[in-house]
């Protein structure tokens, strides 16, 4: 039976390389080398690069702290602010150069790794749904304008965040994230 620690090392290395470099650009050999594992050992632990990428995406999704959007005892608008602040800090921690793994994977060719594309799409859809819930809670609490379609607004926020993350990544600069954050609250949710 393979040692759990080698599997963890492959997943850790794969997570970092896939996040920084993208799916197509990251090979199994590079992942094994970064994990200091023999290349042949990769397939003792993962059936395919695609399988590792989906585990990495799930780990990334868990680190998005979507639970913040439904956190008990916190006012809805503050939940959204806390969540956005968390995402911003995470992008900034890598100088914006890694971008959002959801968007990175969604931007790559769907035909190269259809299960990875589908997992990224599902992660974005789940994010939209939880954000829509927080917006609806904010509307019921009188914090967010009532005439807004919460589902449509949540999609707009997620899309705008992903686009800003792309521009921030390309430039290695957080200005697009500052802009989208201000516009989410000032313009889309009209709360400032």
The nearest distance, CB 171 to its own copies, in angstroms, is 5
DSSP state of 7: H
Phi, psi (5° rounding) for residue 83?
-65, -45
Instruction: Decide if 117 contacts 24 (C-beta within 8 A).
Output: no
Segment interacting with its own copies, rule: CB under 8 A, options 32-40, 55-63, 78-86, 119-127: 119-127
The nearest distance, CB 95 to its own copies, in angstroms, is 10
Tell me if 37 contacts its own copies by CB under 8 A: no
Query: How many CB atoms are closer than 10 A to CB 47?
Result: 9
Measured CA to CA, the distance from residue 155 to residue 152 in angstroms comes to 5
Residues in contact with 140: Cβ distance below 8 Å, sequence separation at least 6, in sequence order: 76
Tell me if 30 contacts its own copies by CB under 8 A: no
Tell me if 109 contacts its own copies by CB under 8 A: yes
- Which of 24/141 has CB closer to its own copies? 24
Place of tokens 């899309």: 159
Q: Which positions touch its own copies (CB under 8 A)?
A: 20-22, 24-25, 97, 99, 103-104, 106-112, 117-118, 120-121, 124, 148, 152-153, 155-156, 158-164, 166-167, 169-172, 176, 179-180, 182-183, 187-188
């Amino acid at each position: 039976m393979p040692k759990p620690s080698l599997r963890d090392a492959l997943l850790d290395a794969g997570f970092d390389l896939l996040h920084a470099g993208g799916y197509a650009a990251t090979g199994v050999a590079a992942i094994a080398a970064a994990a200091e594992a023999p290349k042949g050992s990769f397939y003792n632990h993962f059936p395919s690069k695609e399988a590792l990428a989906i585990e990495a995406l799930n780990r990334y999704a868990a680190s998005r702290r979507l639970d913040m959007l439904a956190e008990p005892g916190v006012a809805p608008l503050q939940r959204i602010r806390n969540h956005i602040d968390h995402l911003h800090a995470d992008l900034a921690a890598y100088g914006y150069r890694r971008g959002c793994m959801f968007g990175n994977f969604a931007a790559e060719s769907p035909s190269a790794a259809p299960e990875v594309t589908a997992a990224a799409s599902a992660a974005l859809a789940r994010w939209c749904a939880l954000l829509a819930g927080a917006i609806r809670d904010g509307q019921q609490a009188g914090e967010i304008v009532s005439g807004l379609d919460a589902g449509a607004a949540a999609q707009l926020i997620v899309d705008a965040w992903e686009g800003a993350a792309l521009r921030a990544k390309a430039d290695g600069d957080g200005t697009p994230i500052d802009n989208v954050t201000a516009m989410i609250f000032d313009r889309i949710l009209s709360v400032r």
